[in-house]
């Protein structure tokens, strides 16, 4: 998309940091929740008790010995997003942060054990570039357990990987608003407001085509949306117009109210259409932290430490 091609590696590296670090949290949760489905009762699996504390309550700790599990040879990066290969400045410092929960230990993800637990299962990510970044670090971490991992692509799935040793597919479907939306230029519209180039029709109750038919394929679904609900993505002259049941919602909704309706409808859709046995995660956002301007206004990311709690 437009956005990605304009971004320089420096601009987007801030996305990689939270992704790399969150992956450990996420993987841990995933492992814990899938554990009951394992029929084996050996001591390894008994370690997988429910978390003894709130893993989300904690802080970042700087540990110079903390290194990523992968290097620049990981084939799942898009080239311009590969901070290690592009030698982004201060990368080793950025990679030295680790998340430490307040009340209990959080071990690093063990890719062999994780993929072993996920054997014959598939994991799907749906949403915006935060999920995409998450996916890339996840694939690179998992690849450590299976050197035969290869790129996987199907119609509709932006990208992913297949891990033949474990028969596991992990893939991403780009759907920045989750709901279906399409551009309608001004000529098609009846009203003729000054400066309006057109609108985006958002069908709040219809999932975007990219993930419309994936319900039977995945065992785990990680979905998100957030950063696109912003006027820098959809300015006033190209605004979102919300539809439900094929008809415009009256009175028209502001962007954030539309966001709420979309989210409610997408969650209802997932609950109705996706199997009960599927493990579903709603992924939260990390804050934007460009410095000296937004992503398209000469902003850059000079930070090499996480934001403070109240920043």
Ligand X SMILES: *[C@@H]1O[C@H](CO)[C@@H](O)[C@H](O)[C@H]1NC(C)=O
Taking the C-alpha atoms of residue 75 and residue 141, their distance in angstroms, rounded to an integer, is 12
What DSSP designation does 92 have? Answer: H
State both tokens at 250. 């009256």
Burial environment of residue 82 by CB neighbours within 10 A (0 to 12, 13 to 18, 19 or more): buried
Q: Is 237 a residue that touches ligand X (CB under 6 A)? A: no
Residue the block writes with tokens 């959809």: 234
73 binds ligand X (CB under 6 A): yes
Between helix 9-34 and helix 129-143 the angle, nearest 10°, is: 70
8 binds ligand X (CB under 6 A): no
Pick between residue 169 and residue 265 the one whose CB is nearest to ligand X.
169
Contact status: 120 vs ligand X (CB under 6 A):
yes
Distance CA 292, CA 138 (A): 30
Give whichever of 243 and 295 is closer to ligand X, judged by the CB atom: 295
Site stretch for ligand X (CB under 6 A), options 22-30, 207-215, 250-258, 291-299: 291-299
Choice from 197, 236, 298, 307 touching ligand X (CB under 6 A) = 298
- Number of neighbouring beta carbons within 10 Å of residue 113: 16
Q: How far is the CB of 215 from ligand X (least distance, A)?
A: 13
Instruction: Please count the other Cβ atoms lying within 10 Å of the Cβ belonging to residue 131.
Output: 25
Rounded to whole angstroms, the Cα distance separating 270 from 264 reads 10
Per CB under 6 A, does 297 bind ligand X? yes
Residue 87 binds ligand X (CB under 6 A): no
Cβ closest to ligand X, residue 29 vs residue 302: 302
DSSP symbol at 74: -
**Segment (H or E) for 159:** strand 159-163
Which parts of 131-160 interact with ligand X (CB under 6 A)? 144
Segment contacting ligand X by CB under 6 A, of 34-42, 51-59, 227-235, 295-303: 295-303
Taking CB under 6 A as the rule, does residue 122 contact ligand X? yes
How many binding residues for ligand X (CB under 6 A)?
14
* Nearer to ligand X among residue 137 and residue 225 (C-beta): 137
Number of neighbours of residue 195 by Cβ within 10 angstroms: 8
Stretch of 29-37, 118-126, 192-200, 244-252 contacting ligand X, by CB under 6 A: 118-126
List residues binding ligand X (CB under 6 A).
71, 73, 89-90, 120-122, 144, 167, 293, 297-298, 302, 304
């Amino acid at each position: 998309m437009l956005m990605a091609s304009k971004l320089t590696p420096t601009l987007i590296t801030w996305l990689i940091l939270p992704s790399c670090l969150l992956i450990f949290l996420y993987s841990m949760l995933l492992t814990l929740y899938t554990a009951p489905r394992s029929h084996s009762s050996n001591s390894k699996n008994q370690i997988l008790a429910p978390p003894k504390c709130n893993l989300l309550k904690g802080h970042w700790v700087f540990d110079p010995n903390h290194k990523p599990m992968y290097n620049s040879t990981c084939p799942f990066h898009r080239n311009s997003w590969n901070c290690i290969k592009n030698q982004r400045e201060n990368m080793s410092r950025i990679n030295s942060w680790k998340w430490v929960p307040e009340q209990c230990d959080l071990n690093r993800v063990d890719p062999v054990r994780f993929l072993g637990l996920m054997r014959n299962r598939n994991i799907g990510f749906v949403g915006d570039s935060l999920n995409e970044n998450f996916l890339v670090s996840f694939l690179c971490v998992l690849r450590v357990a299976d050197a035969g991992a290869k790129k996987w692509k199907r119609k509709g799935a932006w990208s992913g990987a297949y891990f033949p040793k474990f028969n596991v597919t992990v893939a991403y479907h780009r759907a920045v608003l989750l709901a279906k939306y399409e551009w309608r230029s001004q000529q098609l519209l009846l009203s003729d407001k000054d400066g309006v180039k057109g609108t985006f029709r958002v069908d709040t109750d219809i999932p975007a085509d990219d993930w419309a038919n994936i319900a039977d394929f995945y065992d785990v679904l990680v979905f998100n949306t957030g950063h696109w609900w912003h006027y820098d993505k959809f300015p006033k002259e190209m605004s979102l117009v919300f539809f439900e049941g094929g008809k415009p919602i009256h009175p028209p909704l502001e962007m954030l109210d539309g966001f709420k309706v979309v989210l409610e409808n997408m969650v209802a859709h997932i609950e109705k259409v996706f199997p009960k046995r599927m493990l579903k995660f709603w992924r939260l956002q990390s804050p934007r932290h460009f410095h000296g301007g937004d992503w398209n206004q000469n902003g850059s990311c000079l930070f090499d430490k996480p934001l403070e709690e109240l920043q």
